[in-house]
Amino acid sequence: MSRKEFRDLAPPEEAREAIGSLDLRPDDETVPLREARGRVLAERVDADLDVPGFDRASVDGYAVRAADTFGADEADPARLELVGEVHAGAEPDVKVGDGECVEVSTGAVLPPGADAVVMVERTDREDDAVLVRTSLAPGDRVMFAGADVAAGGRALGPGTVLTAREIGLLSALGVEEVPVRGRPTVGIISTGDELVRPGEDLESDAGEIYDVNSYTTATAVEAAGGEARLYPHAGDDYGAMESALREAADECDLVLSSGSTSASAVDVIYRVVEESGELLLHGVAVKPGKPMLVGRLGVSEPRSDGSEDDRSDPSDGSAYVGLPGYPVSALTIFRTFVAPAIRAAAGLPEPETATVEGAMAVRERYDEGRLRYMPVGLVGDGDGRTLVYPVDKGSGATTSLVEADGVVAVPPDVEYLAAGETVEVRLFSPDVRPPALFGAGEDDPALSRLLDRVDRPRYLGVGSRQGLRRLRDGVTDVAVVTGDAELDPDGAVALGGWAREWGLVVPDGNPDDIDGVADLVDRELRFVNRTTDSGLRTTLGATVAALADDRGAERHDLVEAIDGFEFAVRAHESPARKVLAGAADAGLGLRATAERLGTGFVPCGEERVRVLAAEGRADKPGVRRLERAVEDADDVLGSLPGYGR
């Protein structure tokens, strides 16, 4: 199969125009009022009756003739004869004559003859008389019939988004069903042989991954006002893709696929679109999200014998947009280009864009010559300023979806953003707030539990080395590290810490009878290490160096003798899981991890975990809360094997 190269990348505006040219609007529909929240009126609704339908009292008090109270005040009240009472929901059986009044409750029908209501607080009772201590004008404390909505009047117009207040008005009018704009039906198909739906068995060794995009995109579709419909994911062969796309095109206003849009020999989805419909655009000059498709999908026409032929009519099918496969790219492209089209089809207004200004916490280089939507996070410094830092683990990292607070649009001619430079952040939601505590550093089970005691924390388990770097750069509030004290940044404030026992995680029962680090050097054992950013690896390195000194050997030679010393995994449980899977004879880890997973453990020593705060942020409420959590951590430390002060 020949490789399909990208066509000339379209500018972003051309991509918007291509999507805007697609007809996504479904037919209008009528829904019960109880199900109308959030929908958009398709037609004007006029009132068939007055609201209220009668003159009614707006306070508890007495219905009077206003003329009978002229000149009344506290010193010289008007004396009126009480001739009856009327309560809400009852038809009056009494009328008000000269010098008379009727007791009424809020919402009651105003009795004949009355033209005002005096509130009970401005009156006194004397036997069968009422003393009115204020003057009234006609209409005081009365809501006249039709004052809210008059019969024949315009109640709500087309395009109105129905919230609780509009539904309340329609209820007052006695409306049972309302005509609303249809919600575009959006079919969602994830492509790729490697995908598995959440809840199904996953074979990681075979390269399988859970399907992130289907549920992420479906949720985003519904937030934009569409109706999401999930289809089984399609494999990477032409027939499976064609079948899935045509089925969705027959049932939906818009079909969204993710994956299989790049210029690869195995990616065939662009051919399906070209051959069964019309391809309008292939590739847009943005990052992330260059591999984007826009087109129309046709449906097969039935032959006279009932079978389908190969001809397709795009006008009878649906609109189509192909999103990139990486979750961050897919969601960015959806929010930027597709969500506005879905909102327009549903009749929903564009939401108010929530933006904040902040200063770049670090220098960020970029020189690819494309418009870049850079995911960023927010953090407050010790002086209350908002700092902005890049959140970019690569488009394939799903955690970027939750660690980012918004995006910064970086024009194609900008080579870098300087530290301290002011940027505008378009937030993913108006509700986004910077975390109360932002930290980075060692991946540690005790820390995970202590962070539960801090309101709105954000923590990046990137290892001690990277945690210290971010603290030095002024990005984070705290760093959690292991290793030598001289590595602490100047001015860092110590918030406390704890000790943890480390060693070698081995299969249950220690079948190879491993006794310590020396066995890794002297015997043919498969070992799994942690990454170079991990403080635990630094501790292991110091132990290897001490062993080399004892033997009068070079540290490098001992490292070379360990089979797998450079085979590094990131998280603190990962080496143990490799051992459990039979992929290694030993792995670097903690006693707490070994006991939790049911493996054997060979103790090698103890190391300190220290929590450091940036000097200018030690008084932030979130930092102070973490400090108290560390001080009061004895219950957490006591629950973890190998942990203590």
- Structural domains in the chain, CATH included, are 12-24+184-346 (3.40.980.10), 29-51+148-180 (3.90.105.10), 56-143 (2.170.190.11), 355-434 (2.40.340.10), 439-645 (3.40.190.290)
Contact criterion met (CB below 8 Å) for 472 and 478: no
DSSP assignment string, 29-89: EEEEGGG-TT-BBSS-EE-SS-BSSS-EESSSEEEE-GGGGTT--SSSPEEEEEEEEE-TT
Confidence (pLDDT) at 508? 96
Confidence (pLDDT) at 383? 86
Work out the number of other CB atoms within 10 angstroms of the CB of residue 452.
9
Angle 146-148-154 (CA atoms, 0-180°, nearest 5)? 85
pLDDT band at residue 3 under the 50/70/90 scheme: very low
Residue 160 gets which letter from DSSP?
Answer: -
Confidence (pLDDT) at 485? 46
Local structure of 539: helix, strand or coil: helix
Q: What is the pLDDT of residues 161-170, one digit of tens each?
A: 999 999 999 9
Give the mean model confidence (pLDDT) for residues 509-532: 96
pLDDT band at residue 1 under the 50/70/90 scheme: very low
d(CA 532, CA 528): 12
- What do you get for the CA distance between the two ends of the chain, in Å? 63
d(CA 565, CA 588): 10
pLDDT band at residue 29 under the 50/70/90 scheme: very high
Work out the number of other CB atoms within 10 angstroms of the CB of residue 222.
14
What lies within 8 Å, CB to CB, of 322 at 6+ separation is: 256, 257, 258, 260, 261, 269, 270, 273, 291, 292, 293, 294, 295
CA nearest to 375, candidates 357, 400, 352, 411: 400
> Residue 433: what are its φ and ψ, rounded to 5°?
-130, 150
d(CA 257, CA 330): 10
Local structure of 590: helix, strand or coil: strand
Q: What is the pLDDT of residues 570-627, one digit of tens each?
A: 888 999 999 999 999 999 999 999 999 999 999 999 999 999 999 889 999 999 999 9
DSSP assignment string, 9-36: PBPHHHHHHHHHTS------EEEEGGG-
In this prediction, what percent of the chain has a pLDDT beyond 70? Answer: 92
Q: Which residue has the tokens 């479904």?
A: 26
Confidence (pLDDT) at 266? 40
Confidence (pLDDT) at 261? 58
Confidence (pLDDT) at 315? 57
pLDDT at 514 over 60: yes
d(CA 357, CA 360): 10
d(CA 350, CA 562): 60
Q: What is the pLDDT of residues 69-121, one digit of tens each?
A: 999 999 999 999 999 999 999 999 999 999 999 999 999 999 999 999 999 99
In this prediction, what percent of the chain has a pLDDT beyond 90? Answer: 66
Q: Where would I find the beta strands (DSSP E) of 87-173?
A: 100-104, 116-119, 123-126, 129-132, 142-143, 154-156
Angle 103-109-113 (CA atoms, 0-180°, nearest 5)? 70
Confidence (pLDDT) at 2? 44
pLDDT at 181 over 60: yes
Local structure of 98: helix, strand or coil: coil
Confidence (pLDDT) at 304? 45
Report the predicted TM-score, pTM, of the whole model to 2 decimal places.
0.75
Contact criterion met (CB below 8 Å) for 298 and 276: yes
Confidence (pLDDT) at 292? 87
CA dihedral over 154, 159, 165, 166, signed as positive or negative: positive
d(CA 118, CA 138): 11
CA nearest to 531, candidates 448, 587, 613: 587
Q: What is the pLDDT of residues 295-341, one digit of tens each?
A: 998 765 544 454 454 545 555 679 999 998 888 888 889 999 999 99
DSSP assignment string, 456-521: SEEEE---HHHHHHHHHTT--SEEEE-S-GGGSPTTPEEEEEEEEEEEEEESTT-TT---SHHHHH
pLDDT at 191 over 50: yes
Residue 187 gets which letter from DSSP?
Answer: E
Q: What is the pLDDT of residues 126-146, one digit of tens each?
A: 989 999 999 999 999 999 988
d(CA 645, CA 593): 18
Residue 108 gets which letter from DSSP?
Answer: P
Q: Which residue has the tokens 């509009």?
A: 166
Angle 453-459-461 (CA atoms, 0-180°, nearest 5)? 125
Confidence (pLDDT) at 431? 78
Confidence (pLDDT) at 227? 96
What lies within 8 Å, CB to CB, of 415 at 6+ separation is: 365, 366, 367
DSSP assignment string, 323-383: EPSSHHHHHHHIIIIIHHHHHHHHTPPPPPPPEEEEEESS-EE--SSSEEEEEEEEEE-TT
- Per the prediction, the chain carries an average pLDDT of 89
Give the mean model confidence (pLDDT) for residues 181-206: 86
Q: Over the range 89-115, which residues count as b (16 or more CB within 10 Å of their CB) and which as e?
A: eeebebebeeebbbbbbeebbbbebbb
pLDDT band at residue 267 under the 50/70/90 scheme: low
Give the mean model confidence (pLDDT) for residues 268-286: 84
Work out the number of other CB atoms within 10 angstroms of the CB of residue 591.
20
Confidence (pLDDT) at 239? 83
Angle 24-29-31 (CA atoms, 0-180°, nearest 5)? 130
Q: What is the pLDDT of residues 564-577, one digit of tens each?
A: 999 898 888 999 99
d(CA 102, CA 120): 12
Local structure of 153: helix, strand or coil: coil
